[in-house]
Chains A and B, each alone.
Chain A
Amino acid sequence: QKEVEQDPGPLSVPEGAIVSLNCTYSNSAFQYFMWYRQYSRKGPELLMYTYSSGNKEDGRFTAQVDKSSKYISLFIRDSQPSDSATYLCAMSGANQGGKLIFGQGTELSVKP
């Protein structure tokens, strides 16, 4: 069993829809939770960064972390065709520096 599980999709939604992306994990030592977006033939770019449990909002994006359930989510409101990309969750424990454990990534397509 992988430390981080993420449904690879693909996920196809119409423009304007609310998108929900999720990851589950097994390592209770994880304290830092991130969402990255990766466009085709590009490197991942950081979207959201959260420490411990709680919610964080940035524009159309909301990240939620529930450590008791070992479950994290990313919500995208009013999705746009430009949001079409692969979304990767990533996690890390304390003192791990640049060592992140990534989910498999969910491929999202937003249709005009």
Chain B
Amino acid sequence: KAGVTQTPRYLIKTRGQQVTLSCSPISGHRSVSWYQQTPGQGLQFLFEYFSETQRNKGNFPGRFSGRQFSNSRSEMNVSTLELGDSALYLCASSAGLAGAAGELFFGEGSRLTVL
């Protein structure tokens, strides 16, 4: 069974630009969560999508957005990039069972550098 696939793996942008990251979950998984990982703040929850609907949202500004498609693939977008957005962005998928914390399976991440 293929794991979670994230693209691109590495990218460099400049301040003010926008970026779109893509995530393909494990086949059959309907929930996709996004996390930001930095040395200072660790892993922080961005948002979760389940059946094309945002189910949970973390404490990030509106410049961070996401969406999920009918095939469960997800994208996240960051607009007006700031230096502080440099981070590893991780996508995780789960079966998304209601009422329980999902056993999350993470991809290898997209490493974003903002210059």
* Neighbour of B103 across the interface among A46, A93, A104, A105, CB < 8 A: A46
Give a binary string over A65-100; 1 marks a CB under 8 Å from any B CB, 0 the rest.
000000000000000000000001010111111111
A43 CB–B CB distance under 8 Å: yes
Binding site for A on B (CB under 8 A): 4, 31-33, 35, 42-45, 48, 50, 55-56, 58, 90, 92, 94, 96, 98-109
* Neighbour of B45 across the interface among A43, A101, A105, CB < 8 A: A101
| Chain B contacts for A25, CB-based, 8 A | none
A7 CB–B CB distance under 8 Å: no
* Neighbour of B56 across the interface among A44, A51, A97, CB < 8 A: A97
A41 CA to B106 CA in the complex, in Å?
12
- Does B43 lie within 8 Å of A98, measured CB to CB? no
- Does B92 lie within 8 Å of A98, measured CB to CB? yes
